[in-house]
A and B are shown apart, each in its own frame.
Chain A
Amino acid sequence: MSEDVILKVRDVYRTYDIKGGLFKKASTLTAVKGVSLDVERGTTLAVVGESGCGKSTLARMLTMIDAQTSGTIEIDGLPIDISKTGISKEMRQTVQIVFQNPYGSLNPRQKIGHVLEEPLLLNTDMPPAERQDLALQMLQKVGLQPEHYGRYPHMFSGGQRQRIAIARAIMMKPKLLVLDEPVSALDLSVQAQILNLLADLQDEMGLTYVFISHDLSVVRYIADKVMVMYFGEVVEYGTRDDVFNNPQHEYTKTLFAATPRADVDSIRKRLAAKAA
Chain B
Amino acid sequence: MSLLEIRNLKVEFDTAKGPFKALDGVDYTVDPGEVLAIVGESGSGKSVAMLAMMGLLPNTATITADTMTFEGLDLQNLTAKDRRKVIGKDISMIFQEPIASLNPCFTVGFQLGETLKTHTDLKGRQIKDKVVDLMTSVGIPDPAGRLNAFPHQMSGGQCQRVMIAMAIACSPKLLIADEPTTALDVTIQKQILDLLVKLQQDSGMGLIMITHDMGVVAETADRVIVQYKGRKMEEADVLSLFESPQNPYTKALLSALPENATGDRLPTVSDFAEAGGF
Contact = CB atoms under 8 A, between A and B. Distances in A.
A and B touch in the complex (CB under 8 A): yes
Interface SS of chain A: helix
A169 to B, nearest CB: 21
Report which residue of B201, B215, B266 has the largest number of chain A beta carbons within 10 angstroms of its beta carbon.
B266
Interface residues of B, number: 38
B20 to A, nearest CB: 15
Given A189-B256, A199-B265, A258-B186, A271 B212 contact: no
Contact of A196 (B41, B188, B218, B265): B265
B161 to A, nearest CB: 16
Contact of B266 (A192, A214, A257): A192
A264 B239 contact: yes
Interface string A231-272: 000000000000000000000001101111111101110110
B266 A221 contact: yes
B218 A188 contact: no
B253 interface: yes
Contacts of B238: 267, 271
B97 to A, nearest CB: 14
Contacts of B257: 188, 217, 262
B129 interface: no
A222 B218 CA distance: 23
A216 B190 CA distance: 14
Interface SS of chain B: helix
Contact of A261 (B218, B239, B258): B218
Interface in A185-240: 187-193, 195-196, 199, 214-218, 220-222
A260 B219 CA distance: 6
Contacts of B65: none
Given A187-B41, A188-B212, A254 B187 contact: yes
B180 to A, nearest CB: 13
Contacts of B253: 188-189
Contacts of A270: 218-219
B269 interface: yes
A274 interface: yes
A233 to B, nearest CB: 17
Contact of A218 (B193, B254, B258, B269): B258
Given A158-B42, A262-B218, A268-B239, A220 B189 contact: no
B221 to A, nearest CB: 9
A198 to B, nearest CB: 11
B186 A216 contact: yes
Contacts of A11: none
Contacts of B212: 187-188
A156 B254 CA distance: 25
B201 A260 contact: no
B186 A214 contact: yes
Given A189-B269, A196-B265, A199-B264, A262 B242 contact: yes
B266 A260 contact: no
